[in-house]
Amino acid sequence: MIPLFYAQKRRNSIIDVEWNTGYLSPEGDSFMDSLIDHFIHFLAVEKGLSPNTLESYQRDMVAFTSYLQEQGITQIEASTRTHIIEYLLVLREKGRATATLSRNMASIRAFYQFLVRDKYIDKDPSIHLETPKIEKRLPKVLSIEEVERLLESPPVHHPAGLRDKAMLELLYATGIRVSELVNLDTADVNLDMGFVKCMGKGSKERIIPLGSVAIQMVQHYLQAGRPKLVKGSGDTSLFLNHLGNQITRQGFWKIIKRYALKANIRTEITPHTLRHSFATHLLENGADLRSVQEMLGHADISTTQIYTHVTRTRIKDIYAKTHPRA
């Protein structure tokens, strides 16, 4: 057995992942790597999954096959239902959340289905294994007053501040995902027509309207902020960092946390907080569920329906706090 800091470079450049998996056996390393490689290629080409989803699948399978080899399993066909159950128990003992266990189970099941499909193995040991049930948590949202304080936090007297305000305004105006926000190009925003075009999960394109405030702030950023950030890099990304390169999700995460602190917002902030707030505020003000579904890019309307529970909960809270006989 040899210690390994896993730095897998996909041969077809679909995805690069660094992952510390502990130990792998020299004799099984290349075989397991090859299976994962083919699996990720299948998901990318046949299923059209996003880079973020591919990364999750790859990370899960690297960890799982590493565990198998720690148990002396160097050939995938030697793995059994018991190995899968024991692996999930190990994750649970490490304190992994139910959502993480469920995602790992989904990854393992998809991996074995692929192996049977392409005749690497004859039987699927993951069949009939129950997926851990996830307790549906209501997304945390900001009040309209908190959103206003957050959006007013960035200073607009320098390029980075203009960029930050434009990003926050655009995110709240459209409800797009943070990954979609940072991947926007300048050509994806049509300020004259008032819409933004983004590529969502499964490479599905959607068009979302922009409000007047977001249009004004993006225009201001394009005129006075972005030209000073581009630094001749030629990067066509809409939002750039101080090096003139596309801003990252991690970069945005630091930005929104900084402004939440500045705005004295005590609600826990996540990269999706403005997306959740966008959907909730639309529904509270009479938007229909189907329109919100389309703007969010949800494939299934049941995913959007979680926000109706949020609005009902908020209405109950408001009633309890304001009705004299509550």
- Together in a domain, 149 and 297: yes
Q: Could you say which of 70, 101, 117 is where a domain stops?
A: 117
Q: The domain spanning residue 23 has which CATH number?
A: 1.10.150
- Together in a domain, 159 and 263: yes
Catalytic residue status for 137: no
Query: In sequence order, what are the residues at sequence separation of 6 or more whose Cβ sits closer than 8 angstroms to the Cβ of residue 231?
Result: 243, 244
Catalytic residue (choose from 38, 201, 228, 249): 201
Q: Whole-angstrom Cα distance, residue 233 to residue 67?
A: 43
**Reported pTM:** 0.60
Strand, coil or helix: 51:
helix
Strand, coil or helix: 11:
coil
Catalytic residue (choose from 41, 109, 272, 314): 272
Catalytic residue status for 201: yes
Catalytic residue status for 220: no
Catalytic residue (choose from 59, 103, 165, 177): 177
- Together in a domain, 110 and 153: no
- Together in a domain, 242 and 191: yes
Nearest-CA neighbor of 318 among 284, 277, 275, 288? 284
Catalytic residue (choose from 57, 112, 259, 307): 307
Residue 138 domain flag: no
- Together in a domain, 293 and 156: yes
Q: Whole-angstrom Cα distance, residue 317 to residue 312?
A: 9
Beta carbons of 19 and 6 less than 8 angstroms apart: yes
Catalytic residue status for 276: no
Catalytic residue status for 298: yes
Residue 53 domain flag: yes
Catalytic residue status for 312: no
Residue 122 domain flag: no
- Could you give the number of structural domains in the chain? 2
What is the pLDDT tens value at each position of the chain, 326 positions in all?
222 223 333 333 333 333 333 333 334 456 788 899 999 999 988 888 888 889 999 999 999 999 999 998 888 989 999 999 999 889 888 888 888 888 999 999 999 999 999 999 999 999 888 766 655 566 788 889 999 999 999 999 999 999 999 999 999 999 898 999 999 999 999 999 999 998 877 777 899 999 999 999 999 999 999 999 998 778 899 999 999 999 999 999 999 999 999 999 988 888 788 888 888 888 888 888 888 888 888 777 777 777 776 666 656 665 566 656 55
Residue 139 domain flag: no
Question: In the 3-class helix/strand/coil scheme, how is 238-298 assigned residue by residue?
Answer: CCECCCCCECCHHHHHHHHHHHHHHCCCCCCCCCCHHHHHHHHHHHHCCCCHHHHHHHHCC
Beta carbons of 39 and 114 less than 8 angstroms apart: yes
Helices 273-284 and 144-151 cross at an angle (nearest 10°) of 130
Look up the domain containing 49 and give its range: 2-117
- Together in a domain, 11 and 93: yes
Q: The domain spanning residue 159 has which CATH number?
A: 1.10.443.10
For 155-171, b/e burial (b = at least 16 CB within 10 A) is ebeebbebbbbbbbbbb
- Together in a domain, 299 and 161: yes
- Together in a domain, 152 and 225: yes
Residue 199 domain flag: yes
